[in-house]
Structure 1
Amino acid sequence: MRALPGDRVLPREHEPPRENGTPLPDSAIEQPPLIRRQEVVAVALAGLLLIAAIAALYVAKAFFLPVVLAFVIGTMLSPAAGFLERIHIPRAVGSVLIVAAVTALGAFIVGLISAPAMEWSTRLPELAGRLKDKLHVFDRPLALWHELQAMLGSSDGLTGLQMPKFDWVQPTLEFLSPTFTEFLLFFATLVLFIASWKDLRRTLIMTFGDRGRRLRTLRILNEIEEHLGGYLLTVTMINAGVGIATGLICVLTGMPNPAGLGALAATLNYIPIIGPIAMFFVLVIVGLVSFPTLAGALMAPLMFGILTFFEGHFITPTIIGRKLALNALAVLLALAFWTWLWGPMGAFLSSPLLIVASILKEHLMPDETPQLPED
């Protein structure tokens, strides 16, 4: 029925109730919650599972560290075993030869490093006294600093440079040195892993009944083996070049034990970020002890700093390329986490484990979200 021009039209909110007495329904539609209870429970359970896994890895370090280290290094060395197998050397024999060669190379590098280290360790008090005499130039700034602390109410009234005590040497050596059982477990697992890698691959692939899942597992294993093998070969070549260049720098600047310092630089360069920084301070300390002037002592560290700057910003990114390039923040966080969890060996494993995690994420959780529009 149409309204006449003189009729009064009530607003919609003031409409009378319907004839049957039921009011009009509210127009507001109730929205579902942004986070459901089931999602909160799932996230909480996943967090508890992650915490339990980290705690297990930390408590059972003596077991998990050698096994994971053997798996990672065995995956890196498996292409070499495949090459020996192609030239008619049985895989079991090839795995023993590869592990023996790697062990001999490691023993040679340890010998280059340990000889001067043991010599210097017997002269720690003498070297500490010489280092303290060289650092008297900092006595006046330190005295001013302590005076400022005293004015601000600090009770520390020490003046002059105080040399640290050497009570940390024994705990540090115990922390860095794995036990014989861990060594034995690592080598046994490494040999058996390389020898049986083909059977392990086949078993992992055939575990899944669906053809699509088998193909995905095969692609994941192939990519992990390719990336880790390429990472080991590339990083080893780069670190060998850094070690040789560091040795030449030590020869040109007159530093003692250039071969040992070069081997130490090559070894520490396997640990991202921390390794080059530690080597820089080692060169600073050795230079301060060995040279009469501060300029002569800092010559080798400055040249090493320039070398590592070009290696980290130009040489390594160019050689590795985008395929093996990792996010710098992810590398730093992985380095901090695995170093806290497993110490120096965890620092070495941080980049390979990050590569494995990125490959698994790419295949198991592909990014199918729409891209944001450009600005």
Structure 2
Amino acid sequence: MTSQVAKRAPVVRLPPKSNVELLLLRGAQVAVIVMGTIAAIFALHAGEYILAPAGLGVVIGLMLGPVATRLESSGLRPGLSASLVVLLFIAAICLFALAIAGPLSFWLSRVPQLWSDLQLQLSELKAPLETLKSVRDQLREVTGSNGVTVSLDQGSEVESVALLAPALAAQILIFFACLYFFVATRNQTRVAVLKLCLDRRLRWRVAHIFRDVEKLVSRYLLSITVINVAEGIAVGLAMQLIGLPSAVLWGVLAALANFIVFVGPAFMVAILLLVGIAEFDTMAGSLLPVVAYLVINTIEGQFVTPLVIGRAMTLNPFLVVLALIFWIWLWGPLGGFIAIPALLVVYAVIRNIVPGINWADDVEPRRH
């Protein structure tokens, strides 16, 4: 008994930490998290050239993952199923390009005429514009600003196109490479990451994160794609009934613009307003395309989308706006498309990391 007591290691009791020490410890942890977040944001911004097309490839890969899974269940190898998925995606892009190539060239050739028509239609606003011009001149006199003179080099456009083409081709290559290899190796990647998790509970959480990310992103993007295609068809038919030329073009643009929530519909309203003013003589006729589009878009946003993806999956509009602002600032229009899937990924990670909170009812609508 005495030998057992002698073998025990002495117990060293440290004095409890004071409130100041705890505050400094928490402050240091928060500072590390904030600095890491800032460093990650600047790394994403600096690596836009490579990370933006790679991120888009991963997002499209998550959307098309269930399609590849269906093909693999029929006996195809992952590499072959990924190739078929990429080919189907390229075919869809080609169909969209063929649908809008003719109408788009038609409207581009009419840009000078549209500009003159817009000037005639907006001549009634000459008096308010003159008032704004006089206010601007007064502000310049007060601030002492004489404006900025910008000189343009006539050869700059050719040079910019020559420099832009190889960069764009490289980004397209990066996108398709990431799309193919992500779809082909998605199961191997999941297994490799799970093998790195030595703790059983951590492995369980990581597995659930993979499952939820694939489920949320693929379900959202596939559902939104079907909804946007249906909305594009409805907008095209409405423009055809109104008598607006190139109804197919406006339907395709409406479908594509609706992928970027808030920003896309606002862009469509501005385009249809300008085209309506140029095409119709009366103010009521000019507003008719915008009204028709807003009615269809409102029905889609308030009734169709909640019915298809479930009201419980509808994200907080404030978080959506913040995500759009952040990703558009980070990667431009491409970031606007990635914003919602990225928000869903963060949501899937948080709901599996935060303990003691049941997030299950926040994703799937309850069934009674």
Shared fold, TM over 0.5:
yes
Which residue of the other structure, out of 93, 96, 99, is the alignment partner of 2:83?
96
Give 1:92 shift. Answer: 1.2
Report what 2:12 is aligned to.
Answer: none
**Paired AA for residue 126 in structure 1:** Q
Distance 1:290 1:303, change over 3 A: same
- Deviation larger for 43-52 or 78-87: 43-52
* Whole-angstrom distance in 2 between the partners of 1:127 and 1:277: 21
Render the CA deviation track for 1:107-130: whole Å, top value 9, x for unaligned. Answer: 221333343333333333322111
**Structure with the greater alpha carbon radius of gyration:** 1
Q: TM-score, normalised by structure 1?
A: 0.80
**Does 2:44 match 1:72?**
no
1:177 deviates by: 11
For 1:224-239, what aligned pairs fall within 5 Å after superposition? Answer: 224-239=213-228
Unaligned stretches of 5+ residues in structure 2: 1-17, 144-153, 359-368
For 1:343, which of 332, 351, 354 is the aligned residue? 332
**1:219-258: CA deviations, max 9, x gaps?**
1111111111111111011101110110011101000100
Which segments of structure 1 move beyond 6 Å, counting only runs of 4 or more? 148-156, 174-178
In 2, the alpha carbon distance for the partners of 1:368 and 1:175 equals 49
Match of 1:39 among 1, 26, 51: 26
Equivalent residue, structure 1, for 2:265: 276
Instruction: Quickly say closer, same or farther: Cα 1:325–1:176, change in 2 above 3 A.
Output: farther
Match of 1:115 among 93, 99, 102: 102
Query: Bigger shift: 330-339 or 121-130?
Result: 121-130
In structure 1, how many angstroms separate the alpha carbons of the residues matched to 2:90 and 2:123? 44
Shift of 1:136: 1.3
Paired residue for 1:372?
A: none
Using the alignment, how far apart are the partners of 1:225 and 1:209 within structure 2? 23
2:123 paired with 1:136: yes
Counting aligned pairs with the same residue, the percent is 32
Deviation at 1:146, TM superposition (A): 4.5
Aligned partners of 2:138 and 2:181: how far apart in 1? 66
SS in 2 for 1:179: helix
CA distance in structure 2 between the aligned counterparts of 1:268 and 1:259, rounded to whole angstroms = 14
Q: Which runs of structure 2 are paired with 1:19-38 in the superposition (5 Å)?
A: 32-33=19-20, 36-38=23-25
1:367 CA displacement: 5.2
Shifted more, 32-41 versus 87-96: the winner is 32-41
Q: Paired residue for 1:354?
A: 343
Give the superposition deviation at 1:368: 5.4
| SS of structure 2 residue aligned to 1:270 | coil
Instruction: Supply the distance in 1 between the matched residues of 2:138 and 2:75 (Cα, whole angstroms).
Output: 78
Q: Once structures 1 and 2 are overlaid, which stretch shifts more, 321-330 or 233-242? A: 321-330
**What does residue range 117-196 of structure 1 map to in structure 2 within 5 Å?**
117-146=104-133, 179-196=168-185
Match of 1:19 in 2: none
Q: Judging changes above 3 Å, is the alpha-carbon distance between structure 1 residues 261 and 100 closer, same or farther for their aligned structure 2 residues? A: same
Q: Does 1:331 align with 2:320?
A: yes
**Equivalent position to 1:285, from 271, 274, 277:** 274
TM-score by length of 2: 0.81
> Partner of 1:4 in structure 2?
none
Aligned with residue 365 of structure 1, among 335, 343, 354: 354
Question: Which one has the bigger helix percentage?
Answer: 2
Distance 2:215 2:202 in 1: 20
1:154 Cα deviation after fit: 6.4
Amino acid at match of 2:97: V
Is the contact between residue 245 and residue 262 of structure 1 (CA under 8 Å) also seen in structure 2? yes
CA contact (8 A) 1:216 1:363 kept: yes
State the distance in 1 between where 2:167 and 2:269 align.
26
Report the CA distance shift for 1:39/1:143 in structure 2 as closer, same or farther (over 3 A): same
Which residue, 295, 304, 310 being the options, matches 1:315?
A: 304
Q: Mind listing any 5+ residue stretches in structure 1 that lack a counterpart?
A: 1-30, 157-166, 370-375
Cα distance between partner residues in 1 of 2:240 and 2:141? 46
Letter in 2 for 1:221: F
Quick one: structure 1 residues 87 and 152, their matched pair in 2 at CA, closer, same or farther if it must change by over 3 Å?
closer
Residues 176, 344 of structure 1: 8 Å contact kept: no
Go from structure 1 to structure 2 and tell me whether the alpha carbon gap of 1:153 and 1:135 turns closer, same or farther (over 3 Å shift).
same
User: In 2, distance between residues paired with 1:177 and 1:299?
Assistant: 42
C-alpha distance in structure 2 between counterparts of 1:175 and 1:365, whole Å: 45
* Counterpart AA for 2:344: I
**In 2: Cα distance, 1:80 partner to 1:368 partner:** 32
Cα separation, partners in 2 of 1:92 and 1:151, compared to 1, 3 Å: closer
Structure 1 letter corresponding to 2:269: F
1:58 matched to 2:42? The reply is: no
Deviation, structure 1 residue 355: 0.4
2:208 alignment partner, one of 183, 194, 219: 219
